[in-house]
Amino acid sequence: MSQLITVGLPVFNGMPYLPETIASLLAQTHEDFTLLVIDDGSTDGSLQYLKTIKDPRLQLHTQQNAGITSTLNRMLQIARTPWLARHDADDIAYPRRFERTVEFIRRYPSAGMFYSDADYYPMKKGQAKFRSTRGDPHKLREITRAGYLLAICHPSVTLNIQKARSVGGYRFDLHVEDVDLWWRMALDFDIHYIPEVLVGMRQNQASSSWRNLEPQAVNALYAQYLLVASLSNLAPRSHEEVYPLLFDMLDRSKLELKRNLRAANFQFSQARHAQGLLSIARAFFSSPAGFFARIHYGLFPQPNVRNGEDPALLLARCGDRGIEAQWAWCRPALPNP
């Protein structure tokens, strides 16, 4: 039987976590895969470490630094299997990740994408759970058609390469290349949720998402704006044009809640419990309603978690007032999460 999966691992200064990540990938119960690693101009010893690995499954490429979006698209171009399993250089693949993914591929061969639950790694007492949208392909498409973004952990995703390329692959160096792809995949193809924790997401203060929290939040609004514009048959305005409008729309209390909860997760993982409790207190005072919503999610995970602001308000803020009422009238109704 021909090989199904290429594991796509972009690396830029992945030390000191890279060896543990590689070890988790090479120790999978399903062993028939290619590990496609692209070193994106690392300067920290990552490339030197990668060159010491003798496993025949490793396919190593190097390039001058081009950024994550260009690197991911290169993976979609050079992979020689039908499926690309995404992974990050500081995260952990639990032993049955590829075994379970292959089972789902064989069960749903016409799917466009699979993803699973994820937890934080190393998981310690007091840490919150990763919020994921859970549902069948119909539910995920319904949420997307209502103008909201899906909450999916990028390193848990496996993409059908041909279908990902058909919708344009990854776009933009805006730290939201993932959520922008998810909505395009959800509209055209079935996305299947694997209801297991198969990936450990490391709390890493050096990661791009940690260092770019505010611009990432604004850019996520831009990804949602592109979705809503597409659903409304509008030609979207450029990122440069609407960024100031989206920046003013940003909910600062939600951003501070996320920042402090993320800090608490990291501090608890480092056994810095006093600092973790202080960050929890700051999270509560930044947004009491949002804080209790997160607590409720941790105790009773909701299936239709979605990200974004009201689509009609988003269009209005970006100057597309002519169809605001039309969108509010025709958009699908969704239950509250």
Shared domain check, 134 and 43: yes
What pLDDT is recorded for position 136?
A: 96
- SS3 for 132? coil
Higher-confidence residue of 198 and 205: namely 198
Mean pLDDT for 189-200 is 96
What pLDDT is recorded for position 276?
A: 84
CB neighbourhood size of 42 (10 A): 20
Mean pLDDT for 313-325 is 69
Q: Which residues contact 263 (CB under 8 A, 6 or more apart)?
A: 275, 276, 279
Q: For residue range 112-171, what is the model confidence (pLDDT) as tens digits?
A: 999 999 998 876 654 556 789 999 999 999 999 999 999 999 999 999 999 999 999 999
What pLDDT is recorded for position 28?
A: 98
Q: For residue range 171-184, what is the model confidence (pLDDT) as tens digits?
A: 988 889 999 999 99
How many domains does one find in the chain?
2
Residue 262 has pLDDT above 90, yes or no: no
Helix pair angle (252-269, 273-286), 10° resolution: 170
Indicate the residue among 178, 208, 238 that finishes a domain: 208
Q: How many CA atoms lie within 13 A of 79 on its CB side?
A: 33
Are the C-beta atoms of 176 and 218 separated by less than 8 Å?
A: no
Indicate the residue among 177, 208, 239 that finishes a domain: 208
Residue 16 has pLDDT above 80, yes or no: yes
Q: For residue 257, what are the domain limits? A: 227-330
Q: Which residues contact 267 (CB under 8 A, 6 or more apart)?
A: 273, 275, 276, 279
Shared domain check, 110 and 51: yes
Integer Cα distance of 182 and 154 in angstroms: 10
Tell me the CA distances in angstroms from 225 to 143, 216, 238, 309, one per residue in order: 15, 14, 10, 10
Shared domain check, 260 and 147: no
**pLDDT > 90 fraction of the chain, expressed in percent and rounded:** 63
Nearest to 109 by CA among 163, 187, 57: 163
Shared domain check, 17 and 137: yes
